[in-house]
Amino acid sequence: MTKIHEINLLGQSIWLDSISRNMFESGQLSDLIKKGVSGLTSNPTIFDKAVSETDLYDNQIKQLHLEGKNSEEIFEAIAIRDVQSAADLMINVYKKTQYKDGYISIEVSPKLANNSELTIEEGIRLWNSIDRPNIMIKVPGTESGSVAIRKLISLGINVNVTLLFSVESYIRSARAYIDGLNDYINSGGKNLGNIASVASFFVSRLDTAVDKLLNDSSLKGKSGIFNAYKAYELFLDLFGNDFDHLRNKGGQVQRPLWASTSVKNPSYSPTLYVEKLMGPNTVNTLPENTLEALLQSAKIKDELTNNTNVDRYFNNLEKDGLSVNQITNELLADGIRSFLESYNSVIDRITNKIIKSST
Q: For 239-292, what is each residue's pLDDT tens digit?
A: 999 999 999 999 999 999 999 999 999 999 999 999 999 999 999 999 999 999
Contact 102/94 with Cβ under 8 angstroms? yes
Residue 319 lies in a domain: no
**DSSP secondary structure of 188-229:** T---GGG--EEEEEE-HHHHHHHHTT-S-GGGTT-HHHHHHH
Confidence of residue 358 (pLDDT cuts 50, 70, 90): confident
191 within domain boundaries: yes
> What is the DSSP code (8-state) at residue 263?
-
Answer yes or no: are the C-beta atoms of 12 and 283 closer than 8 Å. yes
What b/e string do you get for 79-90 counting C-beta neighbours within 10 Å, with b at 16 or more?
Answer: bbebbbbbbebb
Summarize the confidence of residues 231-240 as an average pLDDT.
97
> Residue 359 pLDDT > 90, yes or no?
no
> Binning pLDDT at 50, 70 and 90, where does residue 186 land?
very high
Q: Known catalytic residues? A: 138
Q: How far apart are the first and last CA of the chain?
A: 52
Could you read off the pLDDT of 32-81 as tens digits, one per residue?
A: 999 999 999 999 999 999 999 999 999 999 999 999 999 999 999 999 99
The predicted pLDDT at position 310 comes to 92
User: pTM higher than 0.85, yes or no?
Assistant: yes
In this model, does residue 341 exceed pLDDT 80? yes
Asked whether residue 315 is assigned to any structural domain, the reply reads: no
Total domains present in the chain: 1
Residue 216 located in a structural domain = no
Contact 36, 8 (CB under 8 A): yes
Q: How confident is the model at residue 210 (pLDDT cuts 50, 70, 90)?
A: very high
Quick one: pLDDT at residue 309? 85
In a domain? residue 256: yes
- Quote the CA–CA distance of 325 and 48 in Å, as a whole number: 31
Looking up residue 71, the CATH number of its domain turns out to be 3.20.20.70
Q: What is the pLDDT of residues 296-310, one digit of tens each?
A: 999 999 999 988 789
96, part of any domain: yes
Distance CA 334, CA 202 (A): 12
Q: Where in the sequence is the domain holding 124, given as residue range(s)?
A: 3-203+233-299+327-358
Residue 211 has pLDDT above 90, yes or no: yes
Domain-located, residue 310: no
Asked whether the predicted pLDDT for residue 178 surpasses 80, the reply is yes
Residue 217 lies in a domain: no
Average pLDDT of the segment spanning 307-333: 92
